[in-house]
Structure 1
Amino acid sequence: MKRNIRTAVVTAGALIAALGLPTGAAQADTPAQRTDLRVLVVTDGGPTTAAIAAELDSAGTPYTEVDLTRAGRPQIDTAFLADTVDGRPRARYQAVVLPNDNPFPAGSAEMAALTAYERTYGIPQVDAYTYSRPQVGLQYFASGGYAGSLDGVRAGVTPAGLGGPFGYLDGAVPFEDNAPAIGESYAYLAQPAPGADFTTYVDAPIPGTPRRGSLVGEYRHDGRRELVVTFVYNRYQQQFRLLARGIVEWMTGGVHLGAARNYFAVHVDDVFAADDRWDSVLNCTPGDVDCANGAGTPNPIRMTGQDAAYAADWQSARGLTLDMVYNGAGSLDQREDNNGADGLADVLLAQRDRFRWVNHTYTHAYLGCEQDVSAVPWKCATTPAGATKWVSRTAIGDEIALNRVWGHSAGLPLHDDELVTGEHSGTKLLPQQPQDNPNLGPALADNGVKWLASDNSRDPEQRLVGPAATVARYPINVFYNAGRAVEQTDEYNWIYTRRSQGGSGICEDHADTTTCLPAPLDTATGYAAHIVPQEVRTTLGHVLSNDPKPHFIHQSNLAEERIAYPVLNGVLDGYGALFADNTPVENPRMKDIGVELQRRAAWKDAVRAGRVTAYRIGDTATVEAPNGLATPATLPAGTRQGAAAFGTPYAGRVSGWTAAAGTPIALTLPTSAAAATAGTGDRSGVAATAPGTLPAPRTHVPDGVRERSSTAPRG
């Protein structure tokens, strides 16, 4: 069967002048080269090439990986790298990433082939991690340079870097120091070698000297360009996350498939309702299912009108819109108990248009199986025959519809196709409920729900529940049952300390997902000194990872001592100190995040299945993909789609999704961008010899720290 293919075209002129070809008739007989929009990643199993591959994968940039440690891998030779298509010379990769400047044995034919390829076709090479010496354009690190830890060091982007591939940063590149007893960031620092054509993009102070040494720089030699990186990293470390975009921009010249942005959306659950409070004596939450047999007296936490006004003013000052995930019955209960008064609702509804609103069901009822709370932990109730008792389709539908009606009656600007169920209930929850409530999907269909929130800590991948696609949310580890710092810290100690230290031992029982504290935190200082920095670091890591998934807190965290704000401010302040104004944090609503996740999944499936072909001839790039598939691209500012500008500005480029309905899409690059990225190959066909260099020494890098989430993540 003939496959339905559409073609997207990014136009521009020939590369002949940039390639140094002769003029006149000879030039007319020489077709401009075709360069496929795909990256070659050669790995030795180390963390640095894995980090770059993860960055490409996250953005949706096609790449081919060759693992040097695997038997039967393809040999990198001329045929692997280049050929001729339709009479035109083709470079099959727009960039090459190596684990270091030469990962092959001395005299390797593969390195010789790569060298010749890069020179002939003007293909840049990234040395993911190597050490400083003249072979990479730097002085020996032993001659006035440095080799050792950079933990806690404040590196910086040079003027050349800010004017080049790292112009989206504000200048500072702080290196993490999360575990003082563990070396996390080994590096070599040195200045350019005498006579070398080397431009430093990122540097750091050389200890004991007034000089600075290169960490990332461009070395031009023998008709080739290398990006020389002299520090080790993994995909989770902040210093890599800050520089990853620039590494990709450098290797692709800012013209590549895929797109990446920094996202931060915050959902505030249980708005209008009240949340039960942690009891530091009983070590449970009276009124909730973790207190056996109804022990304790509930002492709920609920925002006031002053808290609502503070939230509105805070988000305006910070340029971030909060998503208020509301339960309408909470206001009804408040008015019934207070002679019709509800100061919180009065303020929020008067300022309703300053927030976004999401349906959280009317009463926050549990919508999965019927819960048997006679013991802790609770279990699903069963029939005499042993079948699970499920909350009915009608009951689920009523919770959705009543809250929607209440919201519209209150004038909330709702999107009726979004839903967050109470505690993400209805969807599977291990160990008690290993499957979705079979009545949930039909109830969602009855109410037109297309986007359903899930908890990323237990259900991270987007999937369908009936007609609705899930949107996983990150739980910020500020607990729903805490309105004061001392309560948060006490519960944190209970969860994350050993039984021998007075804790629950949960961290011991679940060592695969949690890490025990070495000692209980001081309840007077532990929140500000430990919990806030931990949550800021984790949350900012998500923001810097091209991850659009929203985070969620609870209305209780905006009440009383308003303990969520130190975390939110820490994320935004940290971000603002790192990024230039041209790279703002994106703040999408839930349904837009769902669409983004769907597009990414469809695009990655098509790329992995080999159903996408993309290449560039001069300033013309062509993308062939299944008809209707949304295609992500990042291109230079000034690129046009017909008479209109392509994409939207971000980080000094323009990026966006584009799709065609059977007709070509023409995207025209600005002339200056075409010249800058056209390549510098000499086309001489002269064989090159591999440089006599040694690979960088292997250095241990700690694995990424596993994230922790509350054992009581209630939504």
Structure 2
Amino acid sequence: MSGLAAATLCAVAAVPLQAVVSQAATAGSGTTSPNIVAASPIKGTVAKASSVQATTFPGGDRIDLRVLVVTDGSSPVEAIRSELGTEGVPYTTIDLNNASRQQLTAAFLAGTAGTVPEAHFEAVVLPNNAPAQLSAAEIAALNAYEATYSVRQVDAYLYPGAAVGMNTPTFAGTLDGMTATITGDGKTKAFPYLNGNVPFENIDPTVSESYGYLGTPNPPTGTTFDPLVTMTIPGTTTQGVLAGVYSAGGRNELINTFAYNANQSQFLALGHGIITWATQGVHFGYDRNYFTVDVDDTFLPDAEWSQVGHCTPGDTICPAGTPDTTPSRMTPDDVSYQASWQSANNYKLTMLYNGGGSDDQVAASGSDPLLTAWQANKSAAFEWVNHTYSHEFLGCEQNLTTIPWSCQTDASGNIVWVPQSDITSQISQNVAWARAKGLPTDATELVTGEHSGLVTLPQQPVDNPNLGPGLTAQHIAWTGSDASREPNQRLVTGGTTLTVPRHPMNVYYNAATVSDEINEYNWVYTSTADGGSGICENNPTSTCISPLNPTTGYTDYIVPTETRIALSHIMANDPRPTYVHQSNLAEDRILYPVLNSILGQYRAEYANLAPVVEQTLAAEGQTLQQQSAWAAAVAAGTVSGYVQGSKVTISAPSGLYVPFTGPNGTENPGLLGGSLGATAFGSAYAGELSAYKKSPAGGFSLLLPGYSGL
């Protein structure tokens, strides 16, 4: 039930295909941030036992749970730094471009804790194996440190050669559209969550998006090279290395011979495994691949796009003479189809309901077959979320005679706001309606119509001052917001409710047919010369496209585009849900091709160890809250941890939820902090155990596999 202006804003905001929400990392000297089938045999391959399951850190030494990132600002090392921040792994940054940066010395890298040797970093990330900005003394200090404490090094991107146990590459060039393979050791030691094939992006065939070198191992005597990720060298049947571990002189380096940035799908797939390998599977942080789809306006009819007037009759002002269109509303057959689809795909949609739409139907015809269908298919809905009773706009009183709409003002020029009584009525009436109809709902969750009441720029620069108190009075803890306008969680002004930003999908609320979707998409994204609105020409975040084919444009362009955007969110540890509208499940049911594409591509790439994670609105809000609190605690320096032998010791403020990831077999201590009576830690995901664990005063300990009472 959003107006065209809102639909257009969402569409334009989503244009950058690689926009991924993540915690930004700050650069600077010494700065910190919180935050499938095995390849054919390759010369030099050495099979080893899994290093994910047990660390090789010296038993008596203390290894601090922090990563050292030495950056030259290049995209590969910055991508790894971004992944650390996204997952919540604490790190220290040394900026090689800063003349006054911290020098890499033995004293900086290690020291003592009492009488115990202490390594200050559990892993090291470099731009390459020997950055030119590091002195010979610094490289020597780093090498000695890594050998002494069994600390691993990641070389973000380099040209392969003898210095890292490889031959000169036999291929150098664009890797777009090619497919990488995870080797057997790759699956065991770093990427157990992947099925085995990692497609490299090829978004624009006219642009080189990925460049890399493909060569073969040739480790000198006394050294080994273990390929983890390979790719067939063009024109041959030989597997060339993209990522592999070179072990020499008591040190282990993960070398990468392909360039990437933080937003490319191949890095998003591999990034977590790089961290797993580097930290030996023991680190702060919590990573999940979230994907929840909210379907707004359930029980309401959604106004339909006019291809004649390029507007939405009933929602926006249309040119004179524009004929009315027929609003779209789901039918019982659509409910049955959804129930069957959900069962077949092991995935459930979240239905955001407006009870007033059903009551209007009953008043008009004496019954609502749609409600009856939902009541007969209760298992078809993952959850029901309050979307207000009649979808009333809960911000300022709107003046719809202007384009775009504007806020009504009184005689003194003050904005006229929707009163708190209307807000509380819309909430409570809808909760009561759901309970009366037998639809389960969490009364602490709410998404207002069009996210109204919250800031809506440019017309409404502040929250409705009646919204926060109204939500608090109704005990609303979580309310949805538009992530394309406000990507971060915040408190609603004047209340205790936290927002849950939601990603809009460019499958429009006012399009129930493929034809209308393509027509509106062309209107928004093409230039005036091509018959479009020209919005794309005047918006700095948008790019104009050539008009889509009216018959094939949905399948050929919109579906793959929305799939890439959704996967970029899923693979970025982003709990924010995606929202669409009930009209997309009606008539042509245009949402399903997108969902099939998203889930199909995801499940082809990811193993069952890492399923997509669906959450309720409350759980999404809590996850965002925990991510933010953890990032703030790390930035403030109030948390720390170390591993010593097979024991992890964590210091944290009381009540803080600490994200931690450990290998299978990690336990919570039992009696006297030992293994007697120990209990399993966390939940299994991606071949590891992880959890947000609430810290008691002073912190807590965890026992790694093989704990011996140290």
If the length of structure 2 is used for normalisation, what is the TM-score?
0.88
Aligned to 1:522: 549
Larger RCO, structures 1/2 (Cα 8 Å, 6+ apart): 1
Q: 1:463 to 1:283 in 2, by over 3 A?
A: same
Unaligned runs of 5+ in 2: 1-54, 671-677
The answer to whether the Cα contact below 8 Å between 2:653 and 2:699 also exists between their aligned partners in 1 is no
Classify the secondary structure of the residue corresponding to 1:416.
Answer: coil
Q: Which residue of 1 aligns with 2:577?
A: 550
Counterpart mapping for 1:83-98 below 5 A: 83-98=111-126
Q: Which residue of 2 aligns with 1:62?
A: 90
Counterpart in the other structure of 2:653: 626
Q: Which residue of 1 aligns with 2:530?
A: 501
1:19: Cα distance to partner? 7.3
Q: 1:656: which partner in 2?
A: 691
Which position in structure 1 is the counterpart of 2:481? 454
The 8 Å contact of residues 263 and 568 in structure 2, kept in 1 or not, is answered as: yes
Residues 213-232 of structure 1 deviation map (CA, whole Å, 9 limit, x = unaligned): 00000000011000010000
Structure 2 partner of 1:44: 72
Confirm or deny: 8 A CA contact 1:304 1:559 kept in the other structure: yes
CA distance in 1, matches of 2:112, 2:696: 30
Structure 1 CA distance, aligned partners of 2:98 and 2:135? 21
Tell me which residue corresponds to 1:161. Answer: 186
SS in 2 for 1:520: coil
Distance in 2 separating the partners of 1:654 and 1:457:
33
Q: Which residue of 2 aligns with 1:490?
A: 519
Classify 1:664/1:544 alpha carbon distance in 2 versus 1 (closer, same or farther; 3 Å).
closer
**Aligned-pair CA distance for 1:590:** 0.7
- 2-structure distance, mates of 1:613, 1:629: 12
Provide Cα deviations, 1:23-65, integer angstroms capped at 9, x if missing partner. xxxxxxxx92111000000000111111111111111110001
Select which of 54, 62, 66 maps to 1:34. Answer: 62
Contact 1:292 1:374 (8 Å CA) reproduced: no
1:66 aligned partner, one-letter code? I
Structure 2: distance between partners of 1:557 and 1:298:
16
Tell me the residue number matched to 1:478: 507
Secondary structure of the structure 2 residue equivalent to 1:178:
coil
Query: Hey, what does 2:565 align to over in structure 1?
Result: 538
What do the CA deviations read for 1:626-651 (whole angstroms, capped 9, x no partner)?
11111010001111113321000001
State the match for 1:201 in structure 2.
228
Q: Deviations over 1:117-168 (max 9, x none)?
A: 1111111000000011010111011xxx211110000111011111221111
Aligned ranges 1:308-319 → 2 under 5 Å = 308-319=335-346
1:183 to partner: Cα distance: 0.8
Deviations 1:575-601 (A, max 9, x none): 110011111111111100100110111
Are 1:135 and 2:163 an aligned pair?
A: yes
In the alignment, the residues of structure 2 paired with residue 503 and residue 637 of structure 1 have an alpha-carbon distance, to the nearest angstrom, of: 55
Matching residue's letter, 1:85: A
Cα distance in 2 between the residues matched to 1:323 and 1:350: 17
Written as runs of structure 1 = structure 2, the 5 A alignment for 1:349-364 is 349-355=375-381, 356-364=383-391
Give the drift of 1:248: 0.3
Q: In 1, distance between residues paired with 2:167 and 2:468? A: 64
Is 1:252–2:287 an aligned residue pair? Answer: no
1:351 partner letter:
N
Q: Secondary structure at the match of 2:425?
A: helix
Q: CA deviation at 1:291?
A: 3.0
The answer on whether the counterparts of 1:104 and 1:110 sit within 8 Å (CA) in structure 2 is no
Cα distance in structure 1, aligned partners of 2:360 and 2:496: 32
CA distance in 2, matches of 1:429, 1:293: 28
Equivalent residue number for residue 177 of structure 1: 202
Deviation at 1:662, TM superposition (A): 2.9
Could you tell me which residue of structure 2 aligns to residue 686 of structure 1?
Answer: none
Q: How does 1:39-438 map to 2 (within 5 A)?
A: 39-105=67-133, 108-141=136-169, 145-195=170-220, 196-291=223-318, 296-338=323-365, 340-355=366-381, 356-438=383-465
Is the 1:292–1:375 contact (alpha carbons within 8 Å) kept by the matching residues of 2?
no
Q: Shift of residue 292 of structure 1?
A: 6.3
Gaps of 5+ in 1: 1-16, 21-30, 679-715
Q: How far, CA to CA, are the matches of 2:595 and 2:384 in structure 1? A: 19
Q: Residue by residue, what CA displacement relative to the aligned partner does 1:502-549 show, whole Å, maximum 9, x if unpaired?
A: 111111111x221111x2111111111110110011101111111111
Contact 2:652 2:699 in 1 (8 A): no
In the TM superposition, residue 72 of structure 1 has moved relative to its aligned partner by 1.5
One-letter code of the match for 1:116? A
Contact 2:652 / 2:697 at 8 angstroms: preserved in 1?
A: no
Query: What SS does the aligned partner of 1:218 have?
Result: strand
Paired residues in the alignment total 643
Q: One-letter code of the match for 1:276?
A: A
In structure 1, what is the Cα distance between the partners aligned to 2:458 and 2:275? 42
Counterparts of 1:393 and 1:523 in 2: how far apart (Å)?
46
Instruction: Report % sequence identity.
Output: 48
CA contact (8 A) 2:443 2:476 kept: yes
The CA distance in 2 between the partners of 1:385 and 1:664, in whole Å, is: 56
Secondary structure of the residue aligned to 2:77 is: helix
